[in-house]
Structure 1
Amino acid sequence: MKKTFLFVLSIILSIFVVGCTPKTEDAPDKEDDDDIVSLDTKMDYVKNTSGLYDEFFDVNSNVQIKIDIAESELALIQSDYETYASKGSKSPIYRMSNVTFIINGKTHVFEEVGIRMKGNTSRTNFYNQEQGLYHLIHYKLSFKQTFDDEAYYANPKVWASKEARDERKDRTFAGMEKLDLKWNKSFDETYSREYWTYEMYSSFGVLAPKITSVNMQLKYRQDYENLGVYFALECIDELFLEKRLGSKHLGGDLYKVGWDYEKGGSLTMDTINKIGVENEDESYFPVYDLKTNKKNNEHILLKTLIQTLNQDTDFSSLVNMNYYLVYEAISYLVGNPDDLRHHYNNYYIYFLKDTNQAIFIPYDFDRTFGVTRDWNPSGDGMTSYSPYAKMTTMGGVDDQINPLVLKTVVKGAPEAYLENYKKVILEAMSTKFYKDEMFNEVYQIRKEIYDNAVNITISGMGYFECLFNYNETKNMKFSSYLSGKTTTINQTIND
């Protein structure tokens, strides 16, 4: 059993007294705590793929993903984008491809894998018959897609038997039903910051997705075209939760929290009517998008949380407070301007089944540790923000409206919360995640494996190439981020 993974569970499965220093000792072994489900045990439950899951996401692994897709299917993805974009929506339709994973020289082939465009602001036209591919996009793969929905497919797949269809519905790769593939849109020349971010969260007990770099190739005409180095990300879903939580915590409500042009997922009363289940065909995108328990759900837990946070009432029984304070401390240290606190999005809320308490899960953290290209709202990569700042990326220096943030981690919040938050920040700063030489080791591993894979072979797409370069030219250097953030912390942590 991995000590890091057990430590993750020790934070989640315990209710701490507010003000305590976060535990750093290893959690008990499985025989001492039946609620703890190890990664290996859980992956045995999910198609016996624990070894493949670990190997796929191992930073030392060499991973190549080769997608073979008919040009007609690629054209349909483009057409789907145009159709749904015209009505202000996003296509949910998966088209058919064959996908080959080559992991450290071992080949894993999956036929009839669903593939579609993914993302929000990254969605764009990317293909036409004359040029072929001319723009990189993010993709989502589905290994369970059946291609038989008559509403989406002109020639729905006819299954030989119910058993064959059921088998497809249960199919996974490395214990995952879906996989996100994202190009390096932030042009992080280290290809390592988002990985470092999620590893930091996980090491302190916060649930976070796995991510790894991969060489992405796509064949739609005669030969495979090299699309450079992509990121493969674990999706946050029920299987994600099963790998990390004991059985008594499973089965709760999971919400993906997005952004809108008003107050996003700020947990204010203005957002309480923005809870629902996403429907792309109806162009309906609630800020709080329910991903589990969708049938006849009245969203009582989330509505109660929002209502209570916006009253002069004790809310601590509705949130796993120790977990949340750790979450906010690590969020502050990684410096993402586009998160729960600063831009009111890019997180999941999960309500633990047995306690009904909320915990928070980060996602889409591709602007951390000094990524400043295209957007640098603070002017210095978020390094000058005080740990207690009410400043957000939405307005002025005192524009924080999230009641959970205001009641816990900014000046004026209860001293017990602030002390616990401060202790986590100081502890985390002393770990490897705030050591430039440790980050550089990961960068060197990535560079050695993928340095020869970054060159895109499609004519005219050179703009998208991002070369490995530790002395970054488009973003703040990692060591500069650490230096700036550390200076600010030392100057303000005891204010």
Structure 2
Amino acid sequence: MRRRLPSSAPASTITVPTDSTRLPKGGEDMLRLWLKRIILLALLFGAIGGLAWYNVETSASGYDSIVRLANSRKQKADYDRLFDESLAKSITVVFTEASFDALLADMLAYFEQYGTYQDNTMQKVDIVYADGEGTSFTLREVGFRTKSNTSRNLPMTIDWRGREIWHQTSFQLQFNATFDYAANTNEYSVLSDREAFNLDQLNFEFCKTVGGEIDEAMISESYAYKLYRRAGLDLSNASYGLVYFQVGDETIPYGFYTYIEPIDQNFLKRHFDGDIARQYGDLYKCTDTSGIADLGLDFIAKAGINRNAENVRFSYALKNNTNDGTRTTHDALASLIDTIHGDAFSADIAAVLDVDAFLRYLAMGFLIGNTDDFRFNLNNYYLYFNVYDGPAYMIPFDLDSSLGVGKHQDLSDNHGVYYDLFPSTDAANPLVENVLAIPANRTLYLDYLAEFTTLYFGFETFNAEYTVAKSLYEATLIAENHLGNQLFDLRNSEWYFTEKANQVMTKIAAAPSE
């Protein structure tokens, strides 16, 4: 505080320096220097104090500081760590009691209105990542929602005795969710560009029981993704680990989950070239949501932009380039479908489809035996149309019915092991049939089958990864009484790999030469 002289002070108390009372030569400069230093220190400590006050005030009022919302970690290193199968990992999803209650209330309200739990409202959570190398970090204000078209359920219900019953469900974390922050706020600016693990989102799938079967090997879906990548295809990376839910003070060991990279704009940037303005081509998620995604001529009514809040979803759901939800044209998709059903298929198909990648997809898909895919069930694939010249690239996803387990169309219950190489479809599929009717494509398809069977499709490699996963997780799953399957078992895996490989190689040898 600046001191002031009393009004009654005698004038004699004010001393005016004379030559004899002036500072020594150079002393005035030194005094000015010290005064500047004092002023700078005062400003510095004032700024520090102000920032501390701001953090205390914002924390007390329920808002994290902007620094706490940012993620300054090395993204590529965290991505590699997340998808390292040899590393034990866990992710804890931390709810407040209010946010978990809101999740249940929103899902129940959606079910009451639409008869399904497919509510996509993002709830605010924190997450804690930890792994066997001692790496641990927390990320604040992450978006959480449940996911899946057919197996989505409430994560917790109350039974007739009033007890909490916990259920596994698939879910998604969104690291760049902005919630209700206004676009002109610092929070919005930080969150909208935030990534974790070099991703905008991360998907989590649990081992489902289908037709009385469960993947006791636990790693099959993740391994199926790996086999496709080894075949030279661009698709999601995947790994696995434990999940915990924390609601208030209660921690729920939530089970063993497959961690899956989503197919989104971030994925396109990682695997495909954009144009000069860094724009990318159309991306469609293709499922049997509003009818089979068979690439038939009736596609128009089944193509569009999902409106999840209204329970409106399309079999060919456009995921980008939506013009803020107003776009109604699908020219690239229409061109592909017209070619599939046109008279000049052989001459025109290479202009609208990456045929080599499609043949790799068919060959490895036949080995994996996922009969809930495009080839066998006209389901579960993405189509990406290259931004420059338009050829479609097919990307498989949802591989939980693979490698001898899961729902399937094979009525013999042999998971497609004894299927013929041609035509091997369970429903009319003009694209598969037309592509494999071209002699050069048939030859290349058989070559890929032989190559992939010989190089990648061995039980020994699968068993080695299974053994590591079992050693990393089984004891913890049992000791902590996690939800879902706790005991690892190879089930029919050795038979599936061995018999499938033998059948494929025998049928290749017997296939007529073109």
Scaled by the length of structure 1, what TM-score is found? 0.80
Count of residues paired in the alignment: 421
108, 117, 134: which one aligns with 2:166: 134
Aligned amino acid, residue 360 of structure 2: V
Q: Which residue matches 2:393? A: 359
Match of 2:295 among 250, 259, 267: 267
Give yes or no for contact 2:290–2:314 (8 Å, CA) kept in 1.
no
Q: In the superposition, relative to structure 1, how do residues 47 and 69 fare at CA in structure 2: closer, same or farther (>3 Å)?
A: closer
Q: Secondary structure at the match of 1:111?
A: strand
Q: Which runs of 5+ in 2 are unaligned?
A: 1-71
Match of 1:68 in 2: 94
1:374 CA drift (Å): 8.6
CA pair 47-101 structure 1, distance change in 2 beyond 3 A = closer
Q: Identify the residue that residue 20 of structure 2 maps to in structure 1.
A: none
On the 8 A contact 2:450/2:505 being kept in 1, the answer is no
**Deviation of residue 490 (structure 1)?**
3.3
Larger Rg: 2
Segments of structure 1 that go 5 or more residues without pairing to the other structure are: 1-45, 149-156, 393-399
Partner amino acid for 2:206?
W
In the other structure, the counterpart of 2:82 is 56
Question: 1:167 is matched with which residue?
Answer: 190
Match of 2:338 among 307, 329, 332: 307
- In the other structure, the counterpart of 2:245 is 218
Kindly provide the CA deviation profile for residues 56-84 of structure 1, in whole angstroms up to 9, marking residues without a partner as x: 10111111111111233222222222222
Give 1:265's aligned amino acid: A
Q: Does 1:426 align with 2:426?
A: no
State the shift of 1:375 in Å: 7.6
Farther-moved stretch of structure 1 (295-304 vs 334-343): 295-304
Shift of the 74–136 alpha-carbon distance from structure 1 to 2, 3 Å rule, reads same
- Inter-partner Cα distance in structure 2 for 1:84 and 1:374: 30
The residue number in structure 1 matching 2:487 is 467
Supply the distance in 1 between the matched residues of 2:435 and 2:409 (Cα, whole angstroms).
Answer: 28
Secondary structure of 1:251's counterpart equals coil
1:480 aligns with 2:473: no
Deviation at 1:401, TM superposition (A): 2.1
Distance 2:352 2:408 in 1: 38
1:279–1:337 CA distance, 2 compared to 1 (3 A): same
Alignment map for 1:90-489 (pairs within 5 Å): 90-103=118-131, 104-128=133-157, 130-148=162-180, 157=181, 162-186=185-209, 187-248=214-275, 251-260=280-289, 262=291, 264-295=292-323, 296=327, 298-314=329-345, 315-372=349-406, 377-392=411-426, 400-409=427-436, 413-431=437-455, 433-455=456-478, 464-470=484-490, 472=491, 477-489=492-504
- Between the aligned partners of 2:331 and 2:120, the Cα distance in structure 1 is 27
Higher relative helix content: 2
Distance in 2 (CA, whole Å) between partners of 1:272 and 1:291 is 16
Instruction: Supply the distance in 2 between the matched residues of 1:93 and 1:108 (Cα, whole angstroms).
Output: 25
Paired residue secondary structure (1:68)? strand
Deviation of 1:276 (Å): 0.6
**Compared CA separation, residues 253 and 456, structure 1 to 2 (3 A):** farther
Cα pair 1:183 1:231 within 8 Å, conserved: yes
Check 1:457–1:375 CA distance in 2 against 1; reply closer, same or farther (3 A cut): farther
Matched letter for residue 403 of structure 1: P
User: Structure 2: how far apart are the matches of 1:369 and 1:64?
Assistant: 25
1:238 Cα deviation from its structure 2 partner:
1.0
2:93 match: secondary structure: strand
Change (3 A) 1:182 1:390: closer
**1:191 Cα deviation after fit:** 1.9
From the superposition, tell whether residues 131 and 421 of structure 1 become closer, same or farther in structure 2 (CA, over 3 Å).
same
Q: Measure the CA separation in 2 of the matches of 1:47 and 1:326.
A: 36
Is the contact made by 1:77 and 1:117 (CA closer than 8 Å) also made in structure 2? Answer: no
Deviation at 1:164, TM superposition (A): 2.6
Task: State the alpha-carbon separation in 1 of the partners of residues 430 and 300 from structure 2.
Answer: 13
Q: CA deviation at 1:195?
A: 1.9
Shift of 1:373: 6.5
1:374-401 deviations in Å (ceiling 9; x for gaps):
9864410111111213441xxxxxxx32
The one-letter amino acid of 1:313's match is A
* Contact in 1 for aligned 2:221/2:258 (Cα 8 Å): no
CA RMSD of the aligned region, Å?
A: 2.3
Give the C-alpha shift of residue 126 in structure 1: 3.3
What is aligned with 2:108? 82
Distance (whole Å) between structure 2 residues aligned to residue 69 and residue 238 of structure 1: 28
Q: Following the alignment from structure 2 to structure 1, what is the Cα–Cα distance between the partners of residues 262 and 360?
A: 22
Letter of the 2:201 partner, please give it: K
Question: Does the C-alpha gap of structure 1 residues 372 and 167 become closer, same or farther in structure 2, counting only changes over 3 Å?
Answer: closer
Query: Closer, same or farther in 2 for the Cα pair 1:286/1:348, shift >3 Å?
Result: same
CA contact (8 A) 1:228 1:453 kept: no
Q: State the secondary structure of the residue aligned to 1:51.
A: helix
How much does 1:190 deviate?
1.7
2:399 alignment partner, SS class: coil
Q: Percent identity?
A: 25
**Is this contact kept in 1: 2:245–2:254, CA < 8 A?**
yes
Give me the whole-angstrom Cα distance separating, in 2, the residues matched to 1:252 and 1:426.
Answer: 33
Stretch deviating more after TM superposition (449-458 or 348-357): 449-458
Distance 1:200 1:341, change over 3 A: same
